[in-house]
Structure 1
Amino acid sequence: MHSIGAGTMFAFVVLTCNAHATFSDAVKDVPFDDLGKKPHDLPYSIWQLTEHTRIAQNDILEFCSNKNYKEKNWPADYWPKKNAPSNESEWKNSLQQIKDDLDAFIDLLKDDDADIYVPFEHGNGQNLMREALLIVDHTSYHTGEILIIRRLLGNWKKS
C-alpha cells in the first residue's frame, strides 16, 4: 500500500547518511572509561545520550507495533540515572538493542500491507512515516551531541 521503496529509502537514510557520521560511527570505539564523562559541565555523558536514544527509539517502535501501547513518563522514563554503564556488557547490549530495534522498525516500513501515511488507531494522528522521521531526527540530534563530547574528550578520529 505504501510507495515503492519507502522502507528501503528510510533504511538508506538512517544507515548510510553519506554526508554525516552515523550513530554507529559516533559510538564506535569509544574508550569505556570515557562513556560516563561530562566535559565542560555538559549535562549528559555519551552513555546517557546513547541510552536515551535506545529508550526513545524502542518506545517509538512499541508505539508503532503495539495497539495496547502504554505511554512512558517524561522525562523520568527516557533518561538513565547513571552517568556510565556498569560494565562493557551493558554498553554492548545497549548498542545491540539500538541496532535490533532499528531493524525491526525498518521491517515495519517494508511491510507491503502497511500504509505508512494512515494514522494509527491508538494515537493522536501519528502515522508510521511521521514516526520514521522522528527516529531519524532524534537520533541525528543526539549523534551530533555524542560527536561533540568525543571531540572535547579528544577521542574522535573519523576515518
Structure 2
Amino acid sequence: MEKQTKFLIDELKKLLNGGGAHVGFKDAVKDLPFESLGERPHGLPYSIWQLVSHIKIAQWDMLEFSKDGSHQSPAWPDDYWPKETAPSSEQEWEETLKAIDEDLQNFLALLDSADIYEAIPEGDGQSVLREALQIADHNAYHTAEIVVLRRLLGIWKS
C-alpha cells in the first residue's frame, strides 16, 4: 500500500472513531439515564433512542453495501427510523450500542482489506472511501443532535 493511501486510511479511522474536533459517539451516549432515551424535548421530532437507532441502521446499511454492492437497502425513510421513541428494555439499548460498535469495527477492518478507491461492484460509482466519508459525516451529524438533546434534557456533562 502506498504511503499516501496508508495515511488517508489512518485519518479515516480517526475520523470514524469520532474525529478530534468534536465529541465522538461513545462519549455522546455515555452514562445516559435509561428513562431519558425516549424523551423528545421542546417538540423535537425524535428522541435519543430514535437517533441512535437511525445511526445503527444507516451505518449497517453502508457497511453491507460496501461489502456487497448488490445489498438491498431498507426502504427510505420509513425503515431507517424506528417508530418507537424508546427502547423496549435496557438489553435492547445495550445490544444496539454493541451493534453500532461492531459494525464500525467491521468497517474499519474493511478499510484495511479493500481498495478504497475502486468502485463498488453493482453500485453507481460509490467506493469504500466515499462510504467511509458518508458514515463519518452521517454519524457526526446525528451525534451532535444527541448532544443537543442531552443539553435540552439537562443530562449533559457541561
Same fold (TM over 0.5): yes
Is structure 2 residue 144 aligned with structure 1 residue 138? no
Q: 1:89 aligns with which of 78, 91, 112?
A: 91
Q: Which amino acid aligns with 2:20?
A: N
CA RMSD of aligned residues (A): 1.3
User: Aligned AA for 2:132?
Assistant: A
After superposition, give the CA deviation of every residue in 1:76-105 in whole Å (9 maximum; x if it has no partner).
110001000001010000000000000000
Structure 2 unpaired stretches of 5+: none
Structure 1 stretches (4+) deviating beyond 6 angstroms? none
Higher relative contact order (CA 8 A, sep 6+): 1
Q: Deviations over 1:3-61 (max 9, x none)?
A: 12433221112225222110111111110000000000000000000000000000000
Partner of residue 75, structure 2: 73
Task: Give the aligned partner of residue 17 of structure 2.
Answer: 15
Aligned residue pairs, count: 156
Match of 1:129 in 2: 129
Q: Distance in 2 between matches of 1:93 and 1:7?
A: 28
Counting helix residues as a fraction of each chain, which structure ranks higher? Answer: 2
Q: Provide the secondary structure at the position in 1 that maps to 2:78.
A: coil
State the TM-score, normalized to the length of structure 1: 0.93
Task: Name the counterpart of 1:150.
Answer: 150
Counterpart pick for 2:27 among 21, 25, 28: 25
SS at match of 1:77: helix
Query: Which one of the candidate residues 62, 65, 70 is aligned to 1:63?
Result: 65
